[in-house]
Amino acid sequence: MSSVSFLEKYGALWMAAALVAAVAAFAAGALIKDARQRNDVARDLTGGDPSKAAPIFRRYGCTGCHVIPGIAGADGKVAAPLSGIRQRVYIAGVVDNNADNLVQWIVSPQAFSPRTAMPSTGITQQEARDLAAYLYAH
């Protein structure tokens, strides 16, 4: 019989597993904090609420044309994907990327680009603010 105890035999393995779990928990906490910060900044920039965006994207048909990160069924291939909006210099390649321009683009894209394929949907200013907040947060 071996005189090696369970702790001696498996202690290092348990310590490694505990370390991996701690690192994963820390990383998850950092991601959650980062997402909250992005949501807060997006709310401040746009005056919108990103948590209201999903049904608005669906109601106005955005999901049929665009891929939208985090929105189930938003897998359209007609228009550009809406990921990484906060990192872009221009909106639709025609106007400086800032919150006011993004909201106005969503409400009335023809005001910036008369020949754009993006339709005027009748979306309200507040709904557009909610969508802009979502896009800046994601």
Give the number of C-alpha atoms closer than 13 A to the C-alpha of residue 109, restricted to the C-beta side. 14
Report yes or no: 118 and 109 within 8 Å, Cβ to Cβ.
yes
| Mean pLDDT of the chain, nearest integer | 86
- Mapped to the 3 state alphabet, what secondary structure does 72-101 carry? CCCECCCCCCCCCHHHCCEECCCEECCHHH
What pLDDT digit, counting tens, does each position of 21-48 carry? 555 555 555 555 688 888 998 999 999 9
| Share above pLDDT 90 across residues of the chain, in percent, rounded to a whole number | 70
Instruction: Give how far Cα 62 sits from Cα of 38, 53, 73, 105, Å.
Output: 22, 11, 10, 13
Write down the pLDDT at residue 35.
81
pLDDT in tens, 70-88: 999 999 999 999 999 999 9
Write down all domains in the chain, each with its CATH number in brackets.
6-137 (1.10.760.10)
Confidence grade of residue 12 (pLDDT, cut at 50, 70, 90): low
Task: Say whether pLDDT at 126 is over 60.
Answer: yes
